[in-house]
Amino acid sequence: MCGIVGAIARRNVSKILIEGLSRLEYRGYDSSGIAINNEQGVFSHRAVGKVQALKDKFAAEPLDGTMGIAHTRWATHGKPTENNAHPHSSGDDLALVHNGIIENHETLRAQLKAQGYVFKSETDTEVIVHLIHNELKTQPDLLKAVQATLAQLEGAFAIAVVNHADKERFVAARKGSPLVVGVGIEENFVASDQLALLHVTDQFIFLEEGDVVEVTRDEVVIYDQQGEPQARPVSVFNHNVDATDKGEFRHYMMKEIYEQPKVINACLEGRISENKVLTSCFGADSDFLKEVENVHIVACGTSYHAGLVAKYWIEDLAGVPCAVEVASEYRYRNVAVPKNTLFLTLSQSGETADTLAALRKAKEQGYLTTLAICNVPSSTLVRESALTLLTNAGAEIGVASTKAFTTQLTALLITSVAIAVEKGLSAEKESALVQAMRSLPAYVNAALLQDEHIQKVSDRFANKQHALFLGRGAMYPIALEGALKLKEISYIHAEAYPAGELKHGPLALVDENMPIITMVPHNDMLDKLKSNMQEVAARGGELYVFADRSTNLHNEDNIIFTEVPKVEEILEPIVHTIPLQLLSYHVAVVKGTDVDQPRNLAKSVTVE
Ligand code: G6P
């Protein structure tokens, strides 16, 4: 992960770079740094902790110049110390920032040490800057030195490098990690994400794998992996609202939770008519729907949980076998691909390294086609997949995914129904499902009305160390997601189980100190789940029950009841997600953790 920014202008770029880092902090926030290349030389500031620490250092000792690079770090190699923070330098004149992992760094480090290079950090990054320095000894052109260096690197990277001898340009490159070019007037930029540059431009060029770019004030020259100059199109960013604004909310996460009715609506828009799913949403080539005989879904984290819900929907509605797997496992094993299998990836960012690697592998495996359900139209995943269904959630800043998840579920429901229609789902059933989907934004709004009640319930979690989440059927993945949210932002250890598995082990953990959060569906599993709840109550466990009123569940001695709106069964996983998001949010606030930027995590995991 990590975020990088680079700028060259006629004005001072230091404030632009630091603002860019603040906007990229979601990618990593354990340390940050900046290097300015001005008339006097290349000067750096680095600081441990959030970007604010760098800002403080900067305020005490300003650095000005018209060219610079900056970095916010999520540690992979070496602890979050000032020495390990980027930029890294070689000699006095060369500084570099890097996002990604250099897999052969140990071999390169040994070679460089043998040549007399002294390493000041524990990072894999430092080998890159020394290699460039070494190349510059034999040929002084920065672009050529970078190209020669990249040829020696294995792994994933996006880099930006400044050299004191080069007053008119800096050089950047990407392979395996994201990098965009921001095009301005008499000034140009690079960054890990467009968001970092929205304060200076809305024109962007998306670099391809292996591209190296020479950035001057007036021009951006792109070379492909073979060193050939390439023209890449400029696209205009079209978000009406700047998502980096928290508005009236204390945290991005809460803002994003409350945006869900609106973004679910945006996800449905143009994809359903009065009573049908519009298959045109998959692009001109929706013929694949007729041929699908199997589905393989691959994703990571929260996106993986969305995939697990879709398995229930696809097998139930379409009768099509569906397997769901985490990308970090899928990419490294031999997979058996039955004829006519759809390969479906889910990703908020579209830049998750394991998911991208899985897609690239799948493209060699004879799948029917590849479909990405993704939130970022310009992402690598979208560009490399044959088909795309965008979730339209708008930028998500909070590290814990909320609106991205519920819009993924919405897009998956659309996809499940579209496949089912081709497999003979009746027009009547399709129409009923589409009507239900249309009500989703209102149901989600109704679920949000429990916010105040859930806030009170959350106080009871302040001293808890562990929690157990239970669900059955499509609610089991929602229990998994609820547990993940709680872990991510409140640091309470939480696990999820299919309620029927309780007696096969986790029941041993149940006592008065163990809160049991139960997602109650209103279907033929209700009575079975009530029996599971009895098993818990009999052992003195405290039950937090989320259910609709018609389940006849209510507050009792050891039951804390939270009402969830009564909705069509197919929608329950989406609507039941909302109270769990609110619960984890409020528990985190009670515990005083950093809600939007929890420790050790990052929003976009572009390393393995
Ligand atoms: C990180 C984030 C999670 C996210 C996962 C997959 O771990 O912190 O919130 O679910 O990556 O990300 P993706 O962008 O592929 O959905």
pLDDT of residue 478: 97
Please identify, by atom number, the ligand 1 atom nearest to the C-alpha of residue 355.
15
Chain segment 2-21, per-residue pLDDT in tens: 899 999 999 999 999 999 99
Say yes or no: CB of residue 579 within 6 Å of ligand 1. Answer: no
Q: Considering the domain boundaries, does residue 419 fall inside one?
A: yes
Site to probe by mutation for ligand 1, drawn from 379, 584, 605 as the one with most ligand atoms within 8 Å of Cβ, is 605
pLDDT of residue 243: 64
Q: Considering the domain boundaries, does residue 63 fall inside one?
A: yes
Rounded to the nearest angstrom, the distance between the alpha carbon of 42 and the centre of ligand 1 is 36
Indicate whether 461 and 442 sit together in one domain: no
pLDDT of residue 239: 60
Most confident of 113-122, 148-157, 387-396: 113-122
pLDDT of residue 244: 67
* Residues 455-484, mean pLDDT to the nearest whole number: 93
Edge-to-edge strand list for the sheet holding 31-38: 41-48, 31-38, 67-73, 3-8, 188-191, 180-183, 203-206, 234-236
Q: Considering the domain boundaries, does residue 598 fall inside one?
A: no
pLDDT of residue 539: 80
Say yes or no: CB of residue 401 within 6 Å of ligand 1. Answer: yes
Q: How far apart are CA 518 and CA 171, in angstroms?
A: 54
Indicate whether 328 and 378 sit together in one domain: yes
Say yes or no: CB of residue 388 within 6 Å of ligand 1. Answer: no
Residue 295 and residue 323 in contact, taking contact as beta carbons nearer than 8 Å = yes
* Residues 151-159, mean pLDDT to the nearest whole number: 91
Rounded to the nearest angstrom, the distance between the alpha carbon of 502 and the centre of ligand 1 is 28
- Would the pLDDT of 178 be above 90? no
- Count of structural domains within the chain: 3
Chain segment 52-73, per-residue pLDDT in tens: 999 999 999 999 999 999 999 9
Indicate whether 210 and 341 sit together in one domain: no
Indicate whether 55 and 87 sit together in one domain: yes
Last residue of some domain: 204, 236, 268? 236
Indicate whether 509 and 485 sit together in one domain: yes
End-to-end CA distance of the chain: 9
- Would the pLDDT of 240 be above 70? no
Q: Which residue has the higher pLDDT, 241 or 586?
A: 586
| pTM more than 0.85 | no
Which residue's CA is the closest to the ligand 1 atom numbered 2? 603
Q: Considering the domain boundaries, does residue 602 fall inside one?
A: no
pLDDT of residue 552: 83
Rounded to the nearest angstrom, the distance between the alpha carbon of 300 and the centre of ligand 1 is 6
Structural domain harbouring 77:
3-236
Say yes or no: CB of residue 603 within 6 Å of ligand 1. Answer: yes
Residue 606 and residue 1 in contact, taking contact as beta carbons nearer than 8 Å = yes
Name beta bridge partners: 417.
none
pLDDT grade for 288, boundaries at 50, 70 and 90 = very high
Which residue's CA is the closest to the ligand 1 atom numbered 5? 301
- Would the pLDDT of 241 be above 60? no
Last residue of some domain: 427, 448, 469? 448
pLDDT grade for 307, boundaries at 50, 70 and 90 = very high
Percent of the chain clearing pLDDT 70 (strictly above): 98
Please identify, by atom number, the ligand 1 atom nearest to the C-alpha of residue 349.
14
CA dihedral angle for residue 94, residue 100, residue 104, residue 109, rounded to 10 degrees: 30
* Residues 233-259, mean pLDDT to the nearest whole number: 82
Q: Considering the domain boundaries, does residue 242 fall inside one?
A: no
For strands 341-347 and 294-299, give the pairing.
parallel
Q: How far apart are CA 260 and CA 251, in angstroms?
A: 15
Say yes or no: CB of residue 605 within 6 Å of ligand 1. Answer: yes
Chain segment 338-375, per-residue pLDDT in tens: 999 999 999 999 999 999 999 999 999 999 999 999 99
* Residues 258-265, mean pLDDT to the nearest whole number: 94
Q: Considering the domain boundaries, does residue 241 fall inside one?
A: no
Indicate whether 433 and 458 sit together in one domain: no
Say yes or no: CB of residue 18 within 6 Å of ligand 1. Answer: no
Q: How far apart are CA 451 and CA 448, in angstroms?
A: 6
Tokens 């994809």 — which residue?
271
Chain segment 90-122, per-residue pLDDT in tens: 999 999 999 988 889 999 999 999 999 999 999
Q: How far apart are CA 463 and CA 527, in angstroms?
A: 32
Which spans in 449-566 are helix H?
A: 451-458, 475-490, 526-537
Residues recognised as catalytic: 2, 603
Q: How far apart are CA 84 and CA 358, in angstroms?
A: 31
Indicate whether 8 and 151 sit together in one domain: yes
Q: Considering the domain boundaries, does residue 606 fall inside one?
A: no
Q: What's the burial of 573, exposed, middle or buried (CB within 10 Å: 0-12/13-18/19+)?
A: buried
Indicate whether 281 and 402 sit together in one domain: yes
pLDDT grade for 603, boundaries at 50, 70 and 90 = confident
Site to probe by mutation for ligand 1, drawn from 192, 604, 606, 607 as the one with most ligand atoms within 8 Å of Cβ, is 604
* Residues 524-552, mean pLDDT to the nearest whole number: 82
- Would the pLDDT of 285 be above 90? no
Percent of the chain clearing pLDDT 90 (strictly above): 74
Rounded to the nearest angstrom, the distance between the alpha carbon of 322 and the centre of ligand 1 is 22
- Would the pLDDT of 531 be above 90? no
- Would the pLDDT of 134 be above 70? yes
Rounded to the nearest angstrom, the distance between the alpha carbon of 307 and the centre of ligand 1 is 13
Q: How far apart are CA 302 and CA 348, in angstroms?
A: 9
Worst-scoring range by mean pLDDT, 30-44, 51-65, 267-281?
267-281
Say yes or no: CB of residue 301 within 6 Å of ligand 1. Answer: yes
- Would the pLDDT of 440 be above 90? yes
CATH, residue 379 = 3.40.50.10490
Say yes or no: CB of residue 380 within 6 Å of ligand 1. Answer: no
Indicate whether 444 and 455 sit together in one domain: no
CATH, residue 208 = 3.60.20.10
Indicate whether 31 and 163 sit together in one domain: yes
Indicate whether 466 and 437 sit together in one domain: no
Q: Which residue has the higher pLDDT, 313 or 595?
A: 313
Site to probe by mutation for ligand 1, drawn from 74, 257, 297, 348 as the one with most ligand atoms within 8 Å of Cβ, is 348
Which residue's CA is the closest to the ligand 1 atom numbered 8? 603
Q: What is the mean pLDDT of the chain?
A: 92
Indicate whether 270 and 373 sit together in one domain: yes
Q: Considering the domain boundaries, does residue 596 fall inside one?
A: no
Residue 302 and residue 605 in contact, taking contact as beta carbons nearer than 8 Å = no
Last residue of some domain: 183, 209, 236? 236
Say yes or no: CB of residue 374 within 6 Å of ligand 1. Answer: no
Say yes or no: CB of residue 355 within 6 Å of ligand 1. Answer: yes
Q: Which residue has the higher pLDDT, 559 or 257?
A: 257
